[in-house]
Amino acid sequence: NAGVMQNPRHLVRRRGQEARLRCSPMKGHSHVYWYRQLPEEGLKFMVYLQKENIIDESGMPKERFSAEFPKEGPSILRIQQVVRGDSAAYFCASSPTGPSQFFGPGTRLTVL
C-alpha cells in the first residue's frame, strides 16, 4: 500500500506565477489535510477536505490560496500570484475513517 504521494517534490516559481501542488492520499483514504511549514517555523494547519467538499479552511490565507479534492484525482492546493513569503514546505496528510493522519513527503516551494 503506497503512502501519501505529493508532487512535485520541489517547485520553483517567480513572483506573480501560479503554483499547483498535488496530493494523492493513501488508498481508501477520503480525508485530506494540508499543512504549511515556513522556514524555521512549525507546521500550521491550512485546510481539511473530503471528496468534493471543503470541511475546514480556517487556516487558509484569505486571498490567493484555494484547495480542492475532486471526485476523481488528487487533491490540489493552488496558490495564485505567488510572493516570496509563500516559500515554504507544504505537507499533505490523509486519513481513513479514523483520526490518525499520515503525511506525505511534502512539496518545497521556492519563490524567486
Partner 1 sequence: DAKTTQPTSMDCAEGRAANLPCNHSTISGNEYVYWYRQIHSQGPQYIIHGLKNNETNEMASLIITEDRKSSTLILPHATLRDTAVYYCIVRVVEYGNKLVFGAGTILRVKS
Interface pick for partner 1 out of 38, 55, 83, 112 (rule CB under 8 A): 55
CA gap 94, 18 in Å, rounded:
24
CA 81/CA 90 separation, integer angstroms: 17
Count of residues near partner 1 by CB under 8 A: 26
Q: Please list, residue by residue across 31-52, b when 16 or more beta carbons sit within 10 angstroms of its beta carbon and e when fewer do.
A: bbbbbbeeeeeeeeebbbbeee
C-alpha separations of 90 from 1, 4, 11 in Å: 23, 13, 11
Q: Decide: is 10 part of the binding site for partner 1 (CB under 8 A).
A: no
Q: What is the gyration radius of the CA atoms in the chain, in angstroms?
A: 13
Residue of 12, 38, 43, 83 that binds partner 1 (CB under 8 A): 43
Among positions 82, 106, 109, 111, the unique one binding partner 1 when judged by CB under 8 A: 106
For residue 97, state whether it binds partner 1 (rule: CB under 8 A).
yes
Nearest approach, Cβ of residue 91 and partner 1 (Å): 5
Binding site for partner 1 (CB under 8 A): 4, 31, 33, 35, 42-45, 48, 50, 55-56, 59, 89, 91, 93, 97, 99-106, 108
